[in-house]
Amino acid sequence: MKKLLLLLAILGITTLAFAQHTETILKKTIINKLFTCPLDKMLDTIGQKYRLNIVFERDSLNKFDVVEHFFEEPLKNVFERVCSQNNLHYWIESDGTIYILQNTDDLERLKKLNATNHLFQGKAKLNIEPAKGPPTHFLFSINGRVIDQSTGESLPSATVSVRNTHLSTSTNTDGNFTIFNVPSDTCVVEVSYSGYQPDDMRLDAKKINTTLVFGLFKALNTLNEVTILGKKSGVMTTDTKKVGVLQLTPESLDKLPNLGEKDILRAFQLMPGVGATNESSSGAYVRGGTPDQNLVVFDGFTVYQVDHLYGFFSAFNSNAVKDVQLYKGGFSSIYGGRLSSVTEINGKDGNKNQPSFGVDLSLLSLNAFAEIPINDNSSLLVAFRRSYQGPLYDKIFKQFNTSTVDAGNGGSGGRPSGGGFNESTTPASHFYDADARYNYKLDANNIFTWSLYTGEDVTDNSRALQIPSFISTGGNINITDYTKYGNLGSSIKWFRQWNKHIHSNTYITYSSYFNNRDDSNSGTTIDSYGDAESFDRGTLETNNLKDIGFKSEWEWELSNKIKILYGGFGNYQKINYDYIQNDTTSLISQHNQAFLGGGYVETEIDPDNKLHLQPGLRTTWFEPTGKIYLEPRFSASYVVNENYTLKAATGQFYQFINDVTREDIADGNRNFWVLSNNTNIPVSEARHYMAGISYENDQFLIDVEGYYKTLSGLTQYTISQSQITPGSTTNTIEQDFYNGSGQAEGIEILLQKKLGRYTGWIGYTLANAEDKFAVYGNSFYPADQDIRDEFKSINMYHYYRWNFAAVFIFSTGHPYTSPLSTYTITSVDGNTLTSYNVSKINSERLPDYHRLDLSATYDLLKLSSQKIGSIGLSLFNVYNHANIWYREYQVVNNQVITTNVKYLGFTPNITLSLRWK
């Protein structure tokens, strides 16, 4: 072993090459030998002969006998053969050690065994080269990059520290880091990142003038860390500097129950402070905010439609996503334009070293991706998924769309048959989305990235009818009922490292959103004289938004104590919303455009290792109002000791765009975006005050955060449609703009078990969200999204290649408005009008929401213990609890009939995931 280390040291190979060296030995070494011995003896022989450190449990492997003649076989094949024959796996750790495993969970035990052996033999586990001589440089700064060794993908939020000092930092979204005042050029830099093996590097006079690259190896897939972590908690990183931040890496999402798709936005809903009971929206209800108050940024561009299938699935393909950050409030001045929260999604660069492919197949959709390195400097990732109209899709579709109701006459489910005159069709419906990302590295300091996202939901309920002769003398009708909504977004990013201390990201972005519905019928009828008459009527509703933007974000590290973030942005937004009836009547016609632009500056101040202060200021000029909006922000944290951290944040936030819902009971509500203006839609404003304390040790994390928010200039824009009589051909549209204010407050408690076979967390939120709109009176009432108590219990158990998860969610019911009584009067035409006497707005509560989801995932492993896929079974709402979404009221025979419209009941799903490299 000593010789091997010496050999490696002489060759000057740094640590990240140890594993590669072992791989090379395995591939290049050719074996010509007959083994007739127990397996442990064989491994001893090979280890000694080829200077490999092979670690195994002698007692167990002694029981396996090897009788095999290897003839011109590479050593790798020998390992694979004996492992395969004896149901074993092998694993190469980043230090080059080969572990022989009966179960993947054995690794930890064997690692300890290995360390003890070394200690016992008086050999320190030394896999870092010694200093070459006395230090020659002092108090300099270093910069570098942390990447995944196998794919070349940069790793954000990895912890980088200098051994035996207090110097520590974490990598930014591009995987870059800078450390100032490094004491000497003989120091050791250590890097750690969740899900990867830690790495370290000895500095020398030469290295400190280059960009240090740390290529981390993936850790063996064992669930000894929870998958979703508050970054603030320091479990994943030691970055205690941020308040209310959640971070997620989509790769581990297959360990949680899912309904057809690994859903990054749904996963956040398992954390305290993010509402988990809105099955009809995968948008984030964060701390009493609504999804339209959550800014969703994907590779630099804003995404306006964040979900598919009436909100059931988020629009983002987890295979194309590297990581996601959710800022629950009090966020940095880099972000703006939303009142409540920010979800920042970074796309994957794709494997830069070798092509890799993957497929996920579930009862809902097919999801495929390819990562292709094009040349040394560029790589391409494409990902595509499409739903198919299987039973699971139909079940969810019908939950949100009642227009498929069979009008009797048998459920033929296709085109109506000739003689009948029913409308029993099942609309053709699907969603798809596609991602493409091209990464081009011009040189070490300039990287260009082009990212494209497009997604659509299409429902086509169009059909042709023959008018039966008993109604008319003939004719035909073409009914068009076509709904399409979606997004197209793209960005070009230029990353530039100007020098060791300054780098910038500059974006040109484009994002568009459209939501169109054509509900019309046209055709001919033949009147009693035999003359054909043609007709064309119906409604056409179109909403489209275009957002073209430019932004440049700069980071300047002045010293270990001060970092300045600054930048500028400009956006041009244009929204068209038309609702046209019978080709001529324009019911709604809104055409708005706006330019907004501004800048921000923020300083990160770390006077010592305990205190972190982050004051910032953002300013925006909004053309329609002609005003400048100033948004001061401030956040701070204080590390009391190694267990306790205190943190607080405050800030002011403006929003210039609003999401509007046009209610449509039959075909699902439809959402539109409208810009603020100077008249009936004001620019809305929020103030956040939040503070928290966290306690953390090796095993547990307890995190408590409280928040208080005030909101003003809120707009409720409702569009209602009334049709007075059945004979009436024109609808009247009523648009109401109600302005009001709101407030939200709450406490979030998170208790997390971080290590072991059993991991998970309990989250509890006590919250209150209220609105005050003059139209409903002068007092605050519970906001639609108000939830008093929310309890979440996420339990994961790892058993060899199995991962089991149980997720239980309980929450107080949503507030709602109910009829108290009815009254009937006669109108002037002699007909009766029955009206409801309605309770105070949102004064009633729906029953409590609760459900249990279970899942089991079995990992598919190669003999080298590399994960190549998984098979998962998920059970949603296991005990089939009828959670109520809302209530419907109808007057039938003068009585009020109440119908509970329910959320999804028990629903199973199976997912198969495969990966190839």
Partner 1 sequence: MEIKNSLLKVAFSLTLSMLFLSCQKENTGSTSVNLPVVESYLTPGHPIIVKISEQKSLTDTAEYGKPITGLQVFVSDGTTNVQLAEASAGSYTYTDLNFLVTGKTYTLQFKYQSLTVSAKTIIPAKPVNFVTQYDTVSIGSSGFSDISTIDRLSWDNPSSLNHVLVFDCLDGSAFPVNVNSFNSAANTSFEENTTAASYYNLNQKTFPYLGNYLVTLLSVNQEYINLITSSTNNATSQNLSNVPTNIVNGFGIFTAMQADTLKMEVNE
Neighbouring residues of 826: CB distance < 8 A, sequence distance ≥ 6: 832, 833
- Looking at the Cβ atoms of 209 and 898, the one nearer to partner 1 is 898
- Looking at the Cβ atoms of 13 and 611, the one nearer to partner 1 is 611
- Min dist CB 328 to partner 1, Å, is 15
What tokens were used for 846? 């729906």
- Looking at the Cβ atoms of 840 and 881, the one nearer to partner 1 is 840
- Looking at the Cβ atoms of 330 and 624, the one nearer to partner 1 is 330
In the sheet with 54-55, reading across from the earlier edge strand, the strands are: 54-55, 98-101, 89-92
- Min dist CB 522 to partner 1, Å, is 10
* Nearest-angstrom CA–CA distance, 89 and 56: 11
* Nearest-angstrom CA–CA distance, 390 and 397: 10
Angle at CA 686, nearest 5°, toward 684 and 687? 160
- Min dist CB 642 to partner 1, Å, is 14
Amino acid letter, 88: L
- Min dist CB 653 to partner 1, Å, is 19
- Min dist CB 591 to partner 1, Å, is 23
- Min dist CB 767 to partner 1, Å, is 7
- Min dist CB 892 to partner 1, Å, is 10
Q: What are phi and psi of 392, to 5 degrees?
A: -70, -45
3-state secondary structure of 148: strand
- Min dist CB 812 to partner 1, Å, is 11
- Min dist CB 590 to partner 1, Å, is 20
- Min dist CB 459 to partner 1, Å, is 20
DSSP, res 311: G
- Looking at the Cβ atoms of 150 and 280, the one nearer to partner 1 is 280
Nearest to 458 by CA among 425, 485, 420: 485
Per residue in 741-769, is it b (16+ CB within 10 Å) or e — as a string? Answer: bbbbbbebbbbbbbeeeebbbbbbbbbbb
Rounded CA Rg of the chain: 31
Per-position DSSP letters for 481-528, written without gaps between them: EEEEEEEEEEEEEEEEE-SSSEEEEEEEEEEEEEEEEEEEEEEEEE-T
- Looking at the Cβ atoms of 303 and 783, the one nearer to partner 1 is 783
- Looking at the Cβ atoms of 120 and 823, the one nearer to partner 1 is 823
- Looking at the Cβ atoms of 700 and 816, the one nearer to partner 1 is 816
- Min dist CB 438 to partner 1, Å, is 44
Could you identify the residue written with the tokens 């409604």? 539
What tokens were used for 315? 């629009």
- Looking at the Cβ atoms of 250 and 746, the one nearer to partner 1 is 746
- Looking at the Cβ atoms of 120 and 470, the one nearer to partner 1 is 470
Could you identify the residue written with the tokens 């909403």? 543
- Looking at the Cβ atoms of 108 and 734, the one nearer to partner 1 is 734
- Looking at the Cβ atoms of 682 and 782, the one nearer to partner 1 is 782
- Min dist CB 6 to partner 1, Å, is 50
Per-position DSSP letters for 421-480, written without gaps between them: ----BPPEEEEEEEEEEEEEEEETTEEEEEEEEEEEEEEE--EEEEPPTTTSS-EEEEEE
* Nearest-angstrom CA–CA distance, 387 and 390: 8
- Looking at the Cβ atoms of 86 and 818, the one nearer to partner 1 is 818
Q: What are phi and psi of 103, to 5 degrees?
A: -135, 150
* Nearest-angstrom CA–CA distance, 488 and 511: 6
- Looking at the Cβ atoms of 375 and 831, the one nearer to partner 1 is 831
- Looking at the Cβ atoms of 632 and 777, the one nearer to partner 1 is 777
323 alpha-carbon distance from chain centroid: 7
Nearest to 150 by CA among 358, 342, 373, 327: 373
Q: What are phi and psi of 9, to 5 degrees?
A: -60, -40
- Min dist CB 797 to partner 1, Å, is 33
- Looking at the Cβ atoms of 183 and 706, the one nearer to partner 1 is 706
Neighbouring residues of 401: CB distance < 8 A, sequence distance ≥ 6: 310, 427, 459, 667, 668
Neighbouring residues of 577: CB distance < 8 A, sequence distance ≥ 6: 542, 543, 588, 589, 590, 591, 672, 674
- Looking at the Cβ atoms of 247 and 743, the one nearer to partner 1 is 743
- Min dist CB 790 to partner 1, Å, is 12
Nearest to 876 by CA among 460, 358, 392, 326: 392
Nearest to 84 by CA among 715, 706, 725, 864: 864
Task: Specify the pairing of strand 844-845 against strand 815-816.
Answer: antiparallel
What is the number of alpha carbons within 13 Å of residue 797 lying toward its C-beta?
Answer: 7
* Nearest-angstrom CA–CA distance, 202 and 164: 13
- Min dist CB 604 to partner 1, Å, is 17
3-state secondary structure of 667: coil
* Nearest-angstrom CA–CA distance, 351 and 357: 10
* Nearest-angstrom CA–CA distance, 477 and 466: 6
- Min dist CB 831 to partner 1, Å, is 6
State the first-to-last Cα distance of the chain, in angstroms, to the nearest integer: 32
- Min dist CB 699 to partner 1, Å, is 24
- Looking at the Cβ atoms of 183 and 813, the one nearer to partner 1 is 813
- Min dist CB 777 to partner 1, Å, is 10
